[in-house]
Amino acid sequence: MQSTISFVLDGKIQTLCFNDELKPTTTVLNYLRSSPIHKGVKEGCAEGDCGACTIVIGELNSANKIEYKALDSCLVFLPMIHGKQLITVENLSAKNSSAETLHPVQKAMVECNGSQCGYCTPGIVMSLFSLYKNEKNPTKESIEDTLTGNLCRCTGYKPIIESAVKACIHDGLDKFTTNEKQIVELLLQIKKQDESIEITTSEQKYFQPKTKTEALQLRNKMQNSVLLSGSTDVALRVTKQHELLEEIIDLSAIEEFKKCTKTDSVINFGAGMNLEEVKKISEKEFPALYETLVVFGSKQIRSLATLGGNVGSGSPIGDTLPTLMAYNAEIKLQSVDGERKININNYFIAYRKTERQPQEIITAISVPRPSSKTIVKFYKISKRKDLDISTVSAGFCLLLNNKSVETIILAYGGMAAITKRALKAEQFLTGKNWERKNIEQAMELIAKEFTPISDARSGAEFRTIASKNLLLKFWSETKTERR
């Protein structure tokens, strides 16, 4: 194993050693802010909400081409960018001895008056740079999705959207296109010397295995260590709670966990697949899961967060969980002793406690393909549409036999200490006609089945009313659909 990390920044390979000052849990944001050059990134929230710290990461794909994605640097620990290119707003313009030429995205922001106070501007520019490299003539919906994770209190977004439209017309061509061959060579140079990483300081141990076998062996030895996949949840323990994580196993470099396999009956999502990748696959395969991920965080967060991490956190308001329950998904768990599968409906046992044993790792989530007659829908109630935590969420599944309910799943988030199904309402509706009088009786059973809490997002009474009304909405939307 190696104890250093290397990445490309400013066109050069940068190699870092760690100690008690430069910790392995130092975020990329704090690393950049400590440098004399890269001050464009800003800390606005330290939890991935504002986008002021947005950077772009370039990494090699299987064809040794660079793919670009925007991330919140406040959520990324330094070892997670090993073997990648780190791009900040300072890197965008083209400079020579006599002049500096702005990147097309920067130029458009200036011409469209897309910046006022300027605090959030570098993060917005980096999000638009990622869009520029990935899409030509993007739709308004795509532009808005790109900007969801960037909060701006000055401009009202219209000039920023106009900037994106004006800039993204050049097929992604820029100085990065010209220099790509050189950067690829640098990344391949790092890759040739690439080993698993073990960083040890007087306070912390940080491991980044490259294979599943190594990860399972490490987990068997370090069963109390923090498992890290995308870090969008774990990083908050460092940035918001100022917690010292003593032992970490970082699974983000294991390629096997990032693969998706398909059969006629099921799709197996690797636990390390980021949610943006899952979203793209789900659009045609699992529409309800796609709708779930459309309103999950922001593009920066979805490009970092993983499906296995969202399931593994065991949060009662994890957005994917009700939907995965509705699809009757299975969790694949593995240890050095072997592997097993457990249905997600049986996986959660208490607040943030699951059936996973201390020596096990989630390696995949299997989602069965529903029949053509099965209806699956997702609902989310929150104070704002984008980048918000659910007040109440629901994943519903319905299969009718003529007018009678053959199968029904009513899974709710935000109504209990775990994501939970309304089993009494399901039992009542099974075998009955899918009609309003039966729905109204089932709604009362839901009200009795859950005892939600009151917190900053909502009162218990509202949650109860909302959970009942979501079932009524589901019935209203499905009563006229073809069987």
Exposed, middle or buried by CB within 10 Å (0-12, 13-18, 19+), for 196?
middle
pLDDT over threshold 60, residue 482:
no
- 411 and 305 in a common domain: yes
- 319 and 192 in a common domain: no
Residues 355-368 have pLDDT tens digits of 999 999 999 999 99
Position 93 scores a pLDDT of 96
Return the closest-CA partner of residue 77 out of 21, 27, 23: 27
Residue 218 lies in a domain: yes
- 312 and 286 in a common domain: yes
Mean pLDDT, range 275-286, rounded to an integer: 97
Exposed, middle or buried by CB within 10 Å (0-12, 13-18, 19+), for 165?
middle
Position 483 scores a pLDDT of 43
Mean pLDDT, range 370-383, rounded to an integer: 96
Mean pLDDT value across the chain: 96
- 367 and 302 in a common domain: yes
- 471 and 377 in a common domain: yes
Whole-number percent of the chain with pLDDT over 90 = 95
Residue 308 lies in a domain: yes
Mean pLDDT, range 46-62, rounded to an integer: 96
Residues 212-270 have pLDDT tens digits of 999 999 999 999 999 999 999 999 999 999 999 999 999 999 999 999 999 999 999 99
Position 481 scores a pLDDT of 55
Tell me, yes or no, if the pTM score tops 0.85. Answer: yes
Among 119, 141, 173, residue at a domain's last position: 173
Q: What is the 3-state secondary structure (H, E, C) of 170-211?
A: CCCCCHHHHCHHHHHHHHHHHHHCCCCEEEECCCCEEEECCC
- 337 and 268 in a common domain: yes
pLDDT over threshold 50, residue 72:
yes
Position 289 scores a pLDDT of 98
DSSP string, 198-266: EEE-SS-EEEE-SSHHHHHHHHHH-TTSEEESS-TTHHHHHHTT-----EEEE-TT-GGGG-EEE-SSE
Residue 400 lies in a domain: yes
Residues 414-470 have pLDDT tens digits of 999 999 999 999 999 999 999 999 999 999 999 999 999 999 889 999 999 999 999
- 385 and 355 in a common domain: yes
pLDDT over threshold 80, residue 150:
yes
Residue 97 lies in a domain: no
* CATH code, domain carrying 357: 3.30.390.50
Position 98 scores a pLDDT of 81
- 353 and 281 in a common domain: yes
DSSP state of 360: -
Residue 432 lies in a domain: yes
* CATH code, domain carrying 217: 3.10.20.30
* CATH code, domain carrying 149: 1.10.150.120
Position 194 scores a pLDDT of 80
* Neighbour tally for 32: CB within 10 Å: 20
pLDDT over threshold 50, residue 30:
yes
Among 119, 152, 173, residue at a domain's last position: 173
pLDDT over threshold 60, residue 154:
yes
Among 173, 207, 225, residue at a domain's last position: 173
Residue 98 lies in a domain: no
Residue 96 lies in a domain: no
Residue 394 lies in a domain: yes
Mean pLDDT, range 87-95, rounded to an integer: 96
Instruction: Please give the tally of structural domains in the chain.
Output: 3
Domain that holds residue 238: 5-91+178-250
Position 386 scores a pLDDT of 86
> What phi, psi does 14 have (nearest 5°)?
-110, 130
- 447 and 432 in a common domain: yes
- 149 and 290 in a common domain: no
pLDDT-derived band of residue 193, with 50, 70 and 90 as boundaries? confident
- 277 and 385 in a common domain: yes
- 260 and 232 in a common domain: no
Mean pLDDT, range 405-421, rounded to an integer: 97
pLDDT-derived band of residue 97, with 50, 70 and 90 as boundaries? confident
* CA–CA distance, 376 with 74 (Å, rounded to integer): 35
